[in-house]
Structure 1
Amino acid sequence: MAHHVRTDYGDSDPLFPSKAAVFWYAVLIAGLIAAPYLLESYYLSQLVFIMIYAIVGVALNILSGQAGQVSIGHAAFLAIGAYFTAVAQKYGLPLVLYLPLAGVFTGIAGYLVGLPALRLHGIYLAIATLAFAFIVEEIIARWESVTNGNEGLMLPPPSLFGLKLGTEGFYYLCLLVTVLVVLAAINIIRSSTGRSFMALRDSETAARSMGIDTARYKTTAFALSAGITGIAGALYAHKMSFISPEMFSLSVSIDFVMIIIIGGLVSLRGAVFGAIFMIMADPLLIILKDQLPLWADMVTHGLYLPDSVNQAVQAGVSRVVNAPGLKSLIFGIIIIVFIIYEPLGLDGRWQRVKAYFKQFPLARQRSARPPRMFLKSERR
């Protein structure tokens, strides 16, 4: 893989590494701006979900990919942002006020959750964040005077300066927030805070020996990640127009973890790739479930099997595609495959493809191999 030699801190993670990058990002932004006029409402809705999930992916990237802290309870932060939005709308707060306040309020909750991270590591920290997610879900279900319990809350359409945002207006709001979040994350990673996160991720002992306040940066990472997720929760609440406790279950947290595993743990671009994969996986699985019985029928008839065998095969295929745990099984297999064969996720594969074509026709096969990922206990 080709690497750029950096001789100055200003060269680290530039916003636009080349003129070609400026051009392609401009094309991407222009395409996203024109999307409401080119796409049907269904695809526009999918784009909104991709942007919301990408925001959460960026938040998890800061916490896990940059700071090395584990969380499998980010659905709780999404829930806090969503319910804060619902309550704020109920009391008449404007969008320009409650949207950033949702991030601030959720960030405070993330700071409190980050306090156990000062003593917990690895699987124990993951269990602590999971317990927090269960606690938040239970509070939402029990605090009926505020959250309306399991019956949920309806949200009116968002309005900006007295004007209700329609489908297109809400799309542009999500696009603006996504761009601002990504730009903020890039600048956080390039700053001294981001470098402290990376030192903390690579070796907490070495970071402490260099004078880095590890306790401060652990809680800061949780607060930043939670705050960004809270903003995504506000957008998610408006997109769904209805929120209830079961919408923020453990499976949602697992989906968020899958975003950074599939997209790439240490890449902000990977968060977008992972969000696209997660949102588009459901429609593709539905198409596969619809088409698989037809394909099986074509194969069995092509082999001229007896009718009894054809019926048995069709019955077996129908049971498999309608099994309740099929989606979880497929996603579990996908995670295992990515961890073993693509540890850097889709963004790592994209980087190797670009490196291959830059070196073509002199590229060697080794340059396409993914680098080995080391555990902290394996480092020398």
Structure 2
Amino acid sequence: MRFVFKTSYDQDIRLAKHGGHVFWYSMLLVALLTGPWTVPDYWLSQLTFICIYGVVGLGLMLLAGFTGLFSIGHAAFLGVGAYTEAYLQARGWPFPLSIAAAAALSAAVGCVVGLPALRVKGVYLGIATLSFGFIVEEVLARWESVTGGNAGKSVPSLSAFGWSADTAMSFYFVCLAVAVGATLLVLNLLRSPTGRAFVAIRDSEISAQSMGIHLARFKTLSFALSAALAGIGGALYAHQLRFISPDQFGILQSIDLLLMVVIGGLGSIHGVFMGAIFLITMPQVIALMKDHLPDVIGQAAGLQGFVYGLVLVAFVLFEPMGLYGRWLKVRTYLQLFPFYRRGLFKRQKSFQKSERLR
């Protein structure tokens, strides 16, 4: 088991805590960079989707996992970014400018949605964001001159200054670069005073306010940053699908995004990408299971929703820390074996509760 002896504050906030982090993350990056030459085209497209959902999940994790503000209408920001990108790319805007505009417009919409967060929280905030999601979906369906309405809108290939990402490999590298950049952005934000203010608001609004943290400003900022990341993911999502319609950004998409961060593990950057992998691979697993199930079950229309709900209930009951929490327990067991104690994480959980008086 590794012990890191810290002797300075800079060492405490360093992204790579020790040499093992540098080695394993370097190996992961090498594997991702060589992915287009080592995996079939189908799985390359799935890796692209994981990168896109990872970017969107980072935004939702920043809002829900680190600020404590839940959004059940987050697909609306995804839709705003997707339609902004499709509209601007069709008019010849280069990709860096169009994706920046998609992020900026989504952030502006996020500021508007963040206003209810100043007065409501919990289930009432969820209802407010859910209502906003329905409003955006209706606007996308009715504003036919811009969005194409329910007929949908075709999205051209990604292009910038004469270069076009018209192949699966080139677009994958664009999504990978954006995902890595967004991850580094969020990691650096979380170790800054702004990120620490977000975490303080999540733990206790009264304590954060007593320390001089402006709740309205930081809650609105959290919504804006979360929406901006969702808008960037929406822009990439539009190019990946090549065709978008309002029904792709409805309540079911919002539930999938929330499911992704909850199952991945709230309050964890690793959990975002674990949740994205779950969200992409689970439909494939269900499709493979259908061939081995009776027709009454395998051909049922709501099988995927039933499995998703069952998995979510199982995680809430037996593993609230998500996939990343389970990995931490497995890693700790292997590091401490044969001296691992069954109640180790249970004692840690009760200790944390005693530190937070409600």
Establish whether TM, by shorter chain, passes 0.5: yes
In structure 2, relative to structure 1, the CA distance for the partners of 1:189 and 1:3 (3 Å cut) is farther
Question: Could you tell me which residue of structure 2 aligns to residue 288 of structure 1?
Answer: 289
> CA contact under 8 A between 2:74 and 2:133: conserved in structure 1?
yes
The alignment status of 1:332 with 2:309, answered yes or no, reads yes
Question: Could you tell me which residue of structure 2 aligns to residue 261 of structure 1?
Answer: 262
Q: What secondary structure sits across from 1:66 in the alignment?
A: coil
Question: Could you tell me which residue of structure 2 aligns to residue 133 of structure 1?
Answer: 133
Q: What secondary structure sits across from 1:164 in the alignment?
A: strand
The alignment status of 1:379 with 2:357, answered yes or no, reads yes
The alignment status of 1:91 with 2:106, answered yes or no, reads no
User: What is the rounded CA distance, in whole Å, between the counterparts of 1:350 and 1:119 in structure 2?
Assistant: 37
> CA contact under 8 A between 2:78 and 2:234: conserved in structure 1?
yes
Letter in 1 for 2:72: I
Letter in 2 for 1:353: V
Question: Could you tell me which residue of structure 2 aligns to residue 76 of structure 1?
Answer: 76
% same residue: 45
Question: Could you tell me which residue of structure 2 aligns to residue 357 of structure 1?
Answer: 334
Query: How far off its partner does 1:356 sit?
Result: 1.8
Letter in 1 for 2:203: D
User: What is the rounded CA distance, in whole Å, between the counterparts of 2:75 and 2:6 in structure 1?
Assistant: 38
Letter in 2 for 1:268: I
> CA contact under 8 A between 1:72 and 1:253: conserved in structure 2?
yes
Query: How far off its partner does 1:56 sit?
Result: 1.2
Q: TM-score normalized by structure 1?
A: 0.89
Deviations 1:79-112 (A, max 9, x none): 0000000110122110111112211110111011
Question: Could you tell me which residue of structure 1 aligns to residue 179 of structure 2?
Answer: 178
Question: Could you tell me which residue of structure 2 aligns to residue 31 of structure 1?
Answer: 31
In structure 2, relative to structure 1, the CA distance for the partners of 1:163 and 1:2 (3 Å cut) is closer
In structure 2, relative to structure 1, the CA distance for the partners of 1:31 and 1:275 (3 Å cut) is same
Question: Could you tell me which residue of structure 2 aligns to residue 347 of structure 1?
Answer: 324
Question: Could you tell me which residue of structure 1 aligns to residue 151 of structure 2?
Answer: 151
Letter in 2 for 1:367: L
Query: How far off its partner does 1:286 sit?
Result: 0.1
Query: How far off its partner does 1:11 sit?
Result: 4.2
Specify the structure having the higher radius of gyration (Cα): 1
Letter in 2 for 1:204: E
Query: How far off its partner does 1:12 sit?
Result: 4.2
In structure 2, relative to structure 1, the CA distance for the partners of 1:52 and 1:25 (3 Å cut) is same
Of 87-96 and 76-85, deviating more is 87-96
Deviations 1:117-136 (A, max 9, x none): 00011000000000110000
User: What is the rounded CA distance, in whole Å, between the counterparts of 2:225 and 2:242 in structure 1?
Assistant: 26
Alignment RMSD? 2.0
The alignment status of 1:55 with 2:33, answered yes or no, reads no
> CA contact under 8 A between 1:12 and 1:190: conserved in structure 2?
no
> CA contact under 8 A between 1:81 and 1:102: conserved in structure 2?
yes
Number of equivalent positions: 355
> CA contact under 8 A between 2:57 and 2:260: conserved in structure 1?
yes
Letter in 1 for 2:36: P
In structure 2, relative to structure 1, the CA distance for the partners of 1:321 and 1:2 (3 Å cut) is farther
User: What is the rounded CA distance, in whole Å, between the counterparts of 1:352 and 1:169 in structure 2?
Assistant: 38
Letter in 2 for 1:28: L
Deviations 1:210-268 (A, max 9, x none): 11001100000000000000000000000000000011111100000011111000000
User: What is the rounded CA distance, in whole Å, between the counterparts of 1:347 and 1:370 in structure 2?
Assistant: 18
Question: Could you tell me which residue of structure 2 aligns to residue 107 of structure 1?
Answer: 107
Q: TM-score normalized by structure 2?
A: 0.95
Query: How far off its partner does 1:333 sit?
Result: 1.1
Where in structure 2 are the equivalents of 1:193-204 lying within 5 Å? 193-204=194-205
User: What is the rounded CA distance, in whole Å, between the counterparts of 2:212 and 2:99 in structure 1?
Assistant: 36
Q: What secondary structure sits across from 1:291 in the alignment?
A: coil
Query: How far off its partner does 1:151 sit?
Result: 0.5
Gaps of 5+ in 2: none
User: What is the rounded CA distance, in whole Å, between the counterparts of 1:225 and 1:281 in structure 2?
Assistant: 25
> CA contact under 8 A between 2:60 and 2:226: conserved in structure 1?
yes
> CA contact under 8 A between 1:352 and 1:367: conserved in structure 2?
no
Q: What secondary structure sits across from 2:292 in the alignment?
A: helix
Query: How far off its partner does 1:10 sit?
Result: 3.2
User: What is the rounded CA distance, in whole Å, between the counterparts of 1:128 and 1:244 in structure 2?
Assistant: 23
Question: Could you tell me which residue of structure 1 aligns to residue 343 of structure 2?
Answer: 366
User: What is the rounded CA distance, in whole Å, between the counterparts of 1:365 and 1:238 in structure 2?
Assistant: 48
Give the ranges of 4+ consecutive aligned residues of structure 1 lying more than 4 Å apart after TM superposition.
1-9, 368-376
Query: How far off its partner does 1:9 sit?
Result: 4.4
> CA contact under 8 A between 2:90 and 2:156: conserved in structure 1?
no
Query: How far off its partner does 1:161 sit?
Result: 2.4
Query: How far off its partner does 1:375 sit?
Result: 8.8
User: What is the rounded CA distance, in whole Å, between the counterparts of 1:232 and 1:29 in structure 2?
Assistant: 20
User: What is the rounded CA distance, in whole Å, between the counterparts of 1:271 and 1:379 in structure 2?
Assistant: 28
Question: Could you tell me which residue of structure 1 aligns to residue 170 of structure 2?
Answer: 169
Query: How far off its partner does 1:365 sit?
Result: 1.9
Letter in 2 for 1:31: A
Q: What secondary structure sits across from 1:365 in the alignment?
A: coil
Letter in 2 for 1:134: F
Query: How far off its partner does 1:291 sit?
Result: 2.0
> CA contact under 8 A between 2:111 and 2:224: conserved in structure 1?
yes
Of 194-203 and 155-164, deviating more is 155-164
Question: Could you tell me which residue of structure 2 aligns to residue 206 of structure 1?
Answer: 207
Question: Could you tell me which residue of structure 1 aligns to residue 280 of structure 2?
Answer: 279
